[in-house]
A and B are shown apart, each in its own frame.
With several copies, the nearest count.
Chain A
Amino acid sequence: GVGGSRRLTEEEFDRYSRQMIVPGVGKDGQLRLINSRILIIGAGGLGCPAAQYVAGAGVGTIGIVDGDVVEVSNLHRQVGHVASRIGMKKVDSLITHLRGLNTLPTYVPYGFHIGPQNAAEIISQYDLVMDCTDNPATRYLISDICVLLCKPLVSAASVQKSGQLIVLNCPPTPQGRVDGKYAPCYRCCFKKPPPPSSMLSCGEAGIVGPVVGMMGVAQAGEAIKILVSALHIPSRDFSIPLERNLAQPTLLIYTYELENAVGPYSFRALKMAGRKKNCFACGENSTLTLEGIQSGTPNYEQFCSLPSPTFTL
Chain B
Amino acid sequence: MADSTEVPIRESETPTISITVDFYGGLDTLFGKGQHKLAIPAADKSGSPSTIGFLVTHLCETKMNDPRTDLFVLDGHIRPGILVLINEADWELEGEEAYEIQSGDNVVFVSTLHGG
A and B in contact, CB less than 8 Å: yes
Q: Give A contacts to B, CB under 8 Å.
A: 23, 42, 44-47, 132-136, 139, 156-160, 162-164, 189-195, 197-202, 205, 207, 212, 251, 253, 255, 257, 265, 268, 270-273, 276
Question: B79 — which chain A residues lie within 8 A by C-beta?
Answer: 194-195, 198
Report if B52 contacts A (CB, 8 A).
Answer: no
- CB distance A199 to B114 under 8 Å? yes
Report if B26 contacts A (CB, 8 A).
Answer: yes
Question: A207 — which chain B residues lie within 8 A by C-beta?
Answer: 115
- CB distance A189 to B83 under 8 Å? yes
- CB distance A47 to B116 under 8 Å? yes
Q: How far is the CA of A302 from the CA of B88 in the complex (A)?
A: 32
Q: How many residues of B contact A (CB 8 A)?
A: 31
Question: B111 — which chain A residues lie within 8 A by C-beta?
Answer: 194, 198
Interface residues of B in 40-96 (CB under 8 A from A): 70-71, 74, 79-83, 85, 88-90, 92-93
Question: B82 — which chain A residues lie within 8 A by C-beta?
Answer: 194
Report if B100 contacts A (CB, 8 A).
Answer: no
Residue-wise interface mask of B (19-44) relative to A, using a CB-CB cutoff of 8 A (1 in contact, 0 not):
00010111011000111000000000
Q: How far is the CA of A251 from the CA of B35 in the complex (A)?
A: 18
Which 3 pairs, one residue from A and one from B, show the smallest C-beta to C-beta distance?
A194-B81, A159-B115, A192-B80
- CB distance A198 to B70 under 8 Å? yes
What are 9 residue pairs bridging A and B, where the CB atoms are less than 8 Å apart in the complex? A132-B116, A157-B112, A164-B110, A193-B81, A194-B81, A212-B115, A251-B110, A271-B85, A273-B89
